[in-house]
Every structure is written in structure tokens, then in C-alpha cells.
Amino acid sequence: MTRIYLDNAATTSLDPQVLEAMMPYLTTHFGNPSSIYSYGRESRLAIENARKSVAKILNAHPAEIFFTSGGTESSNTAIIASVRDLGCKHIITSSIEHHATLHTVEYLYHSGEVALSYVKLLPNGHIDLEDLEKLLAGSQEKCLVTLMHANNEIGNILDIHAVGELCKMYSAIFHSDTVQTVGHFPFDLRNTPVHFITGAGHKFHGPKGVGILYVNENVKIKPYVHGGSQERNMRAGTENLYGIVGFAKALELATANYETESNYIKGLKIYMMEQLKKHIKGISFNGDVLGRSLYTVLNVSFPKTEKSEMILFNLDINNICASGGSACTSGADTGSHVIRAINNNPNQVAVRFSFSKHNTKDEIDIVVEKLKEII
């Protein structure tokens, strides 16, 4: 049986062209980028070219791009620096953030470093901007607002400009976890009022274990990882050379093919919605599905029955990969904190299907058939 992979919000397959760009640095070009001889300088050049390429695509300055091990490290760095270096004593976030953000802000709160507030959510899962303004206006302390650009489970997209303008008005620092949108949407960071954004290569057909942190040039922070002078003294440790080259190549490909691929993938999402509505009674969709939402993510609630409680297990037996809520914790089934926050219905089981350019309508037909049997 061939596998049908519908969990692309968790990770994507490596594009063959990305692997090709990485190969020399996995084999012959292995010099340490910190070495001063020519062999090391070639590696250094590859990293700086990758940085320029990423900066150009995101319309940022190369000096604002730092390479990291991925989204989690980038978010940790930004949040902790905002508190310890930029003087933020009050964090405003939401209950549906990725755990890389939630667990970091909870750690800072429990260690007594910050006050912590959660902005209200609208019924469709979007952030209540009026409540955000109330929290900012009512704060006696300097605030860090940390809100994700697009939710990894339900796909809702934040109005990043509206939030950024509010933060400006109240002199707050703004960090946005953009892991689900870098490589999936065009960015113009010169004209986006944000201090920190994050990216992870494996979300858009790049390698795992490499990410970026964008730090606006007007912000000065100290390193989070101490040691060597890599990344302009901002992140110690020998650089993930082939990962960085792969990240830049994947971003380049994603950007070049954005129009056609995003339209194709959105078509798959809408097709699956229609097929599910047609063939399975009592289902509903989580989030602002046809509004401001990721074209890659469809989160479906199925009526809870003895059979549907085992839905992921049954899909897996049939070689279909999907996830219940967030894939980063899919091993321990405590249910999804995101679904609990927006749709706490104990009589439903939520499944996230997420698509890539490699999926087909035929695959969706097979999955819908299997779901009919399972449910």
C-alpha cells in the first residue's frame, strides 16, 4: 500500500533540488566556516550568500537574519531576550499558541520574571483585537506581545499589521511565530511593524534542524546560546552549514512557485471540505476555514463514536498520515489545547489534514472513502 501523507503542517518532504544544493556541503565542502584558510572561507561564503538570499526574499537586511536550529529555538531566544534585555515585564499572548511559545512564557511567569495575560479569542478562533488593545492600554509595565502569524492546528491567520500598529502605539515589543507562514506567504519585513519573526526549513520542503530568527535592526539583544562568536556573536556553535544552504534554497523555490502552488493546494483543501460535507454527516470545521486561513490546513471535527475515537489509529493502519491537533505532541494523546480553547465539545474528535504540492485529488478521494468506512 502506498502511503498518503496529509500531515504537511508537521513536516514536509525534502525537495530533490534542495538536497542537490546541500550535497556538496554534506560531502566535499565540509570546511569549518570559522576557519581562516580558504577551505573554511568557502563555507563561510555559502552561509553569507544564504543569509543574503533569505533577507532579499523577506525584504529584510542581511544583518537582521540569524540562523538557528529551528522555530523553537528562535521563539525562545526572542521571548527571553525581550524580557531580560529589552525590559518587558508583562507578556500578552493567547491560549492557542504553539508550545514553543506557551511553555516559554509560562516558564518566565513561574520564575517570577513577568506578569502574564491571555488575550480573548473570538468564536471563530481569531484573536480579539479590542481585548488586545485593552490589555495594552491597561498595562503599567512594558509589554511583549507574542502572537503567532498562523495557527498550526486550525490555520487561522493573524492580521500581523494591525497587531504591529497596536504594539507601536503602546511601545510594546512584538514577536510573531511565523513558522507556518515563512515559505508559504510573501513577506515584506521592511514594511511590517514586527520586532521578531521565526522560520523553520522543514515546513516548506527544506531540511529539519535549521531555522531563522529575524531581529529588527532597531532592537539590540544579547545571545541566548553562549560560546563562540558565530552568527555575529549572537548564536554560539558551529553553523549547520548544509542546513543553512538547504533553508535558503527551499525558500527560494517556495517563493518562485508561490502563485501556482498555493492555488493548487488551496484547491485540494476546498475539494476535501466539499467531499467530507457531501459524504459524512455531522462533521464541522474548526477555525476560519474559508476566511483568513492557511491554504495548507483543514481541521475537521467528526462526531464521536466508538469507531471515530480511534480515527487516527485507523487512518494509520490504512497508511494515511494525519494528526489530531498539534503533531509536535501527537505521541501523548492529551488532546489539543487549541481545539479545547475554541471548541470544547466532548462529543467530537478533531483531525488536522494538511496538504502540500505533492498531494492529489485522487488521494483525497481515497481518504474520504476510508473515513466513510471508519465512521
Average pLDDT over residues 311-321: 94
Output the nine-digit C-alpha cell for 122: 473570538
Same domain, 278 and 211: no
CATH assignment at residue 45: 3.40.640.10
- Rounded to whole angstroms, the Cα distance separating 197 from 183 reads 13
pLDDT for 330 beyond 50: no
21 vs 306 pLDDT, higher one:
21
Amino acid identity of residue 74, one-letter, is S
Same domain, 158 and 27: yes
- Rounded to whole angstroms, the Cα distance separating 271 from 263 reads 12
pLDDT for 15 beyond 60: yes
Average pLDDT over residues 92-102: 98
Instruction: Give burial (CB, 10 Å; 0-12/13-18/19+) of 356.
Output: buried
- Rounded to whole angstroms, the Cα distance separating 119 from 104 reads 17
Average pLDDT over residues 303-309: 81
Same domain, 98 and 205: yes
- Rounded to whole angstroms, the Cα distance separating 74 from 149 reads 15
Average pLDDT in the chain: 95
Domain range for 218: 16-256
CATH assignment at residue 342: 3.90.1150.10
pLDDT for 327 beyond 50: no
pLDDT for 325 beyond 70: no
Catalytic residue among 88, 167, 321, 328: 328
Q: 287, 124 in Cβ contact below 8 A?
A: yes
Same domain, 212 and 292: no
Same domain, 208 and 315: no
- CB burial string 36-70: b at 16+ within 10 A, e below: eeeeeeebbebbeebbebbbbbbebbeebbbbbbb
128 vs 334 pLDDT, higher one:
128
Question: What is the structure's pLDDT at 307?
Answer: 76
Give the pLDDT band of residue 335 (cuts 50, 70, 90).
confident
Average pLDDT over residues 360-369: 98
Domain boundary among 256, 273, 307: 256
Q: 141, 115 in Cβ contact below 8 A?
A: yes
Give the pLDDT band of residue 131 (cuts 50, 70, 90).
very high
Same domain, 89 and 162: yes
- Rounded to whole angstroms, the Cα distance separating 375 from 371 reads 6
Helix 16-26 / helix 241-256 crossing angle, nearest 10 deg: 160
Question: What is the structure's pLDDT at 334?
Answer: 67
Tens-place pLDDT, residues 229-258: 999 999 999 999 999 999 999 999 999 999
Same domain, 54 and 189: yes
- In percent, the amount of the chain with pLDDT more than 70 equals 97
Average pLDDT over residues 5-19: 98
Q: 6, 322 in Cβ contact below 8 A?
A: yes
Domain boundary among 256, 280, 306: 256
Tens-place pLDDT, residues 55-66: 999 999 999 999
Number of domains in the chain: 2
- Rounded to whole angstroms, the Cα distance separating 158 from 128 reads 10
Tens-place pLDDT, residues 277-289: 999 999 999 999 9
- Rounded to whole angstroms, the Cα distance separating 224 from 234 reads 7
Question: What is the structure's pLDDT at 333?
Answer: 56
Same domain, 59 and 25: yes
Same domain, 106 and 169: yes
- Rounded to whole angstroms, the Cα distance separating 296 from 311 reads 21
Average pLDDT over residues 88-103: 98
Tens-place pLDDT, residues 213-227: 999 999 999 999 999
Question: What is the structure's pLDDT at 329?
Answer: 44
- Rounded to whole angstroms, the Cα distance separating 86 from 216 reads 13
* 167 in catalytic set: no
Domain boundary among 229, 256, 283: 256
DSSP H or E stretch at residue 320: strand 320-321
Locate cell 470545521: which residue? 285
Same domain, 275 and 347: yes
Same domain, 266 and 192: no
- CB burial string 182-206: b at 16+ within 10 A, e below: bbbbebebeebbbbbbbbbbbbbbb
Same domain, 74 and 223: yes
